[in-house]
Structure 1
Amino acid sequence: MENFFTILGGMGTLATESFIHTLNKRTEAHRDQDYLNYIVVNHATIPDRTEYIKNPSLENPEEKLIDDIKIHSQLSPKFFVVPCNTAHYYFDEMQKATEIPILHMPRIAVDSIGRHFSDAKRVAVLATEGTILTGVYREALEEQGYEAVIPDEELQEKVNRLIYQEVKENRNLNFELYHEILSDVASKMNCEVTILGCTELSVLYDAYDLTKEYNIIDAQAETVHRTLSMMGKNDLLDDN
């Protein structure tokens, strides 16, 4: 197979499925051959990234991530996509393991803010505790002159429950809790934009369109846009 990319997924599986669904939905295609060539690696048994970041005595997922990069680099994809925000804690080491570019989902999300919300200054980040602790979004936002705002303990508990108990454990797309969290950000955090920095939140973003009510940047959706661009395809969302 020529002219393809590799999706290094399974973190979690529903989020990987959502990325693929969004990618295919936004690809301009009139026949089978118009869709993109890609390989999906659903490595579901990679240890939990957030659990390790919070407790380094647990199994470190880095070795398995780097092994996957090395193994699949042998097939010579054009680039890798890693649809897990927290896994970008290991981005530098993964990129050192291959000459093939790896798309950096948090940086892509931050890059897109100006395209959608040119006047934004304060940006809220909703993500796993692991992603928050790594500082990958804070660093990317501050590099571009934005103020990064993270949830307080009460709001983070709601985000954790939505990601882990609702989506990961029970496959429940809890609209009420999702809407409540976005409402809390808008009313209490005084932010112009909210970044959804977890691919489980991206599953909810894809299921419920709240973009007319809230200014949202979904990291997964923006990475889909970048993927289409790099593969020379039009993004059907741009035509709407």
Structure 2
Amino acid sequence: MVMPCHISNAWHEKISDGCSLPFFHIGECVAEELKEAKLKNHNTGSNVRIGVLATSEITAAGSYQEKLGNQGFEVVLPDKATMEHILVPAIYSLNKRDIKGDQNLLRIAIQVLLIRAVNVVVLASDELQNILP
């Protein structure tokens, strides 16, 4: 089983406890994909940094930070200014169906993380996925 909601993964442990089926955590799945892509964690002497773009609720839940951190990856989150002036307006633009404006803001947010020397950017929000062509 997979929980399709990013925020709901904050309760993954409680919900999956006693489940007889494999119940995947989204953060663990992302960590496995990074390993399969041959990205090495900082425990191996690598300096791979993973940028995570998400809403403030998902960031506060800490699902990605915890699971990626447990696998030895350094997680980089947007700073407060990026959240307030880029990501929040991007989601607002999406809700107004301003796809062009939303795409531009999301590209800027990705660039901000790239400037902070991340190697990979994970779009960890239902609202942010499928925006870029």
Shorter-chain TM-score category? Answer: 0.7 to 0.9
Counterpart selection for 1:185 from 110, 113, 121: 113
Question: Would you say 1:113 and 2:30 are equivalent positions?
Answer: no
Structure 2 residue identity aligned to 1:99 = S
* Cα distance in 2, alignment partners of residues 136 and 186 from structure 1: 22
Question: Would you say 1:126 and 2:53 are equivalent positions?
Answer: yes
Change (3 A) 1:113 1:87: same
* Cα distance in 2, alignment partners of residues 138 and 201 from structure 1: 18
Q: TM-score, normalised by structure 2?
A: 0.80
- What number of residue pairs does the alignment pair up? 124
Question: Would you say 1:93 and 2:14 are equivalent positions?
Answer: yes
* Cα distance in 2, alignment partners of residues 114 and 172 from structure 1: 36
Aligned ranges for residues 1-80 of structure 1 at < 5 Å? Answer: 79=1
Structure 2 residue identity aligned to 1:115 = E
The corresponding residue for 1:39 is none
* Cα distance in 2, alignment partners of residues 117 and 162 from structure 1: 31
| Secondary structure of the structure 1 residue equivalent to 2:22 | coil
Identity among equivalent pairs (%): 23
Q: TM-score, normalised by structure 1?
A: 0.47
* Cα distance in 2, alignment partners of residues 97 and 161 from structure 1: 41
* Cα distance in 2, alignment partners of residues 105 and 124 from structure 1: 15
Higher Rg of the two aligned structures: 1
* Contact 2:52–2:78, Cα closer than 8 Å, also in 1: yes
Structure 1 residue identity aligned to 2:55 = T
Structure 1: 5+ residue runs without aligned partners?
Answer: 1-78, 209-240
* Cα distance in 2, alignment partners of residues 184 and 150 from structure 1: 10
Aligned-pair distance for 1:148?
1.1
Change (3 A) 1:171 1:83: farther
* Contact 2:76–2:113, Cα closer than 8 Å, also in 1: no
* Contact 2:65–2:75, Cα closer than 8 Å, also in 1: yes
| RMSD (Å) for aligned C-alpha atoms | 2.0
Counterpart selection for 2:98 from 167, 172, 181: 172
* Cα distance in 2, alignment partners of residues 160 and 122 from structure 1: 23
* Cα distance in 1, alignment partners of residues 121 and 36 from structure 2: 14
The corresponding residue for 1:8 is none
* Contact 1:106–1:197, Cα closer than 8 Å, also in 2: no
Structure 2 residue identity aligned to 1:190 = A
* Cα distance in 1, alignment partners of residues 68 and 19 from structure 2: 26
Aligned-pair distance for 1:154?
1.0
Structure 2 residue identity aligned to 1:145 = G
Structure 2: 5+ residue runs without aligned partners?
Answer: 41-46
